[in-house]
Amino acid sequence: MSGFGVGIVLGLSSPATFQLRAQQQEALNNSAQLNNSIVASQDMIVMTSAEISLFSAVYSCGALAGGLLSSALMNRLGRRATLMVSVLPCLLGCCLMGLSSNYGVLLTGRILTGVFIGVSGASGNAFLGEIAASDIRGMLGALYELMLVAGVLIAFVTREYVSWQQLALITNAPVLLLALLVFFTKESPAFLLIAGKENEARAALQYYRGPDRDVDMEMCALKESQMETRGKRLALSDLKKRHIYLPLFITVVTASMFHLCGIGMSTKTNMSEATGVIACCGVELITAVAAIFLIERAGRKTLLLVSGAVMSASFGCLGLYFYFLSCNELWAKQHLSWLPLTSLLAYVVAFGIGYGPIPWILLGEMFPPLIRETAAGLTVTVVWTLSFITIVTYDALSTALGSYGFYWLYASICALASIFTAAVVKETKGKRLDEITKLFESKKSYGCSTAVKRIKQGTTTNQG
């Protein structure tokens, strides 16, 4: 439900922009004098084009703030409570947008919904990563992306039937349901161990694994992985440790690609037609379902490699089409008219199986306990900072590079993402959180750790 709520909040931009522009055009047709401000009306809200653009994009500022806030909240309240608290700014923001016509109030409401996106994105995926069994953690992470896509699609489809302000109020329903569902779950066993509540942690682990499953081995592994964290705060010197800085670097870069590889197509392709958007969202929805089953079979690294390569080829082909279009428009339309749609669909499928769901999965499983809250918050902050910068600089960038140059830039970014994945990213499929941490330890430290354990075991055996 966290992904579904985030999807509707993100998707709210589409009906809001669509209807606000229609109202703006109606006001212009009626010779209303905007003068860069809202014209008061009982029937509609009229904004300038600049105000509409700001209103649609400002949620990313709230998401940025939410990412920064999530780390402190998760440390103090825990993952479960933080996820429930994240609902509050969303409820308030949706009510402000649904009930007010004042531009400042509307902006405030949109920013508050962005805070929900940032906090729930960090806490929800960290919570999911800690409570899910290793054999289904990837599937559940992919389910987050599926629900997000479903939320965006529903928000878009409903624009023909309800006003965007009514949709803002309706959004409160799934968000409240999220809070209710989380309320009836237990806290993450990993967080309870950090808090020194071992009995509660065991009970929570048994709750998530089922009453008939033996959790002794998993509990021992959890306790061992939490020893580094108990009673200790993250220091700058800890960032020099390989098992801390490397997963942080990998996750931040991969999550950044989520926006850098995704926003280019969504903003630059002619997607104003309702049928085109619905078709693309439908394909993405089907792909997200397929990703749930592919994640634990093909693995994260393989899917990221395929995703980056296909997206790079898709952007490259689109750039090629617009290059030929600029050289000989008639020839390009006669011989290459099939290329844009084919490239777009290939991109949607590739993004849906790789850079759509996997960054959120890595966000919940890559980090050791000492840095998990801080790293999750930092990753979300970086992602939404990039989102805001990309949106703000889009017009200038596309004008400077032209259509084909713009696409070739994103093709290069996707190609670099694939190279990065091949060289740096490690496969985490089917591994417990403590095993993932050991993946990033240097061979020297891992060997010493193993040697110490063997010495202790030998001593114990001799004493016996």
Point out the domain boundary residue: 171, 201, 232.
232
Q: Is the pTM of this model over 0.75?
A: yes
Query: What local confidence, expressed as pLDDT, does residue 110 receive?
Result: 92
d(CA 27, CA 441): 63
- Does 35 fall in a domain? no
- The SS3 call for residue 229 is coil
Does residue 239 share a domain with residue 141? yes
User: Do 227 and 260 have their domain in common?
Assistant: no
Burial of 184 (0-12, 13-18, 19+ CB in 10 A): exposed
Q: Is 36 domain-assigned?
A: no
What pLDDT score does 31 carry?
Answer: 52
pLDDT in 10s for each residue of the chain, 464 residues = 677 888 888 888 777 777 777 777 666 666 545 455 444 445 567 777 777 878 877 888 888 888 888 888 888 888 889 999 999 999 999 999 988 888 889 899 999 999 999 898 888 888 888 888 877 888 887 888 888 888 888 888 887 788 888 888 998 888 999 989 989 988 888 888 887 888 888 888 888 888 888 888 888 877 777 666 665 666 666 667 777 788 888 888 888 887 777 654 544 444 445 566 667 777 888 888 888 888 888 888 999 999 999 999 999 998 898 888 888 878 888 888 888 888 888 888 898 888 888 888 888 788 777 777 788 888 888 888 887 777 777 777 878 888 788 889 889 989 999 999 998 888 888 787 777 877 777 554 444 344 334 434 444 444 44
Query: What DSSP line would sit under 1-38, residue for residue?
Result: -HHHHHHHHHHTHHHHHHHHHHHHHHHHHTT---TTSP
Does 85 share its domain with 227? Answer: no
Residues 193 and 274 in one domain: no
Q: Give a yes or no: residue 463 inside a domain.
A: no
Please report whether residue 363 resides in a domain.
yes
Number of Cβ within a 10 Å radius of residue 230: 13
CATH number of the domain where residue 363 is located: 1.20.1250.20
Which pair of tokens denotes residue 160?
């023909």
Do 150 and 180 belong together in one domain? yes
* Residue 374 sits in the same domain as residue 392: yes
- Domains in the chain, number: 2
Phi/psi class of residue 78: alpha, beta or left (left: φ > 0; alpha: ψ in -120 to 50)? Answer: left
Tell me whether residue 55 is in a domain: yes
Encoded tokens for 380: 């979300």
Long-range contacts of 316-324 (CB under 8 A, 24+ apart): 316/407, 316/408, 316/411, 317/342, 317/343, 318/269, 318/343, 318/344, 318/407, 319/403, 319/404, 319/405, 319/406, 319/407, 319/408, 319/411, 320/404, 321/404, 322/402, 322/403, 322/404, 322/407, 323/404
Clarify whether residues 201 and 334 are in a common domain: no
Same domain? 103 vs 177? yes
Question: Is residue 244 in a domain?
Answer: yes
Q: Are residues 152 and 216 in the same domain?
A: no
Q: Are residues 91 and 221 in the same domain?
A: no
**Do 320 and 403 touch, CB atoms closer than 8 A?**
no
Half-sphere exposure of 293 (CA within 13 A, CB side): 4
Chosen domain end from 201, 232, 263: 232
CA distance 38 to 33: 9
Q: Are residues 72 and 17 in the same domain?
A: yes
Is 38 domain-assigned? no
Residue 462 lies in a domain: no
| Residue of 286, 279, 86, 49 lying closest to 176 (CA atoms) | 86
Domain's final residue, options 232, 267, 296: 232
Residue at token pair 């209807």:
19
CA distance 436 to 247: 9
| Same-domain pairing of 97 and 213 | no
Those residues with Cβ within 8 angstroms of residue 384's Cβ, 6 or more apart along the chain or in another chain: 60, 61, 63, 64, 66, 67, 114, 117, 118
Q: In which domain, by residue range, is 220 found?
A: 187-232
* Cα–Cα distance measured from residue 345 to residue 164, given in angstroms and rounded to the nearest whole number: 28
pLDDT at residue 262, rounded to an integer: 61
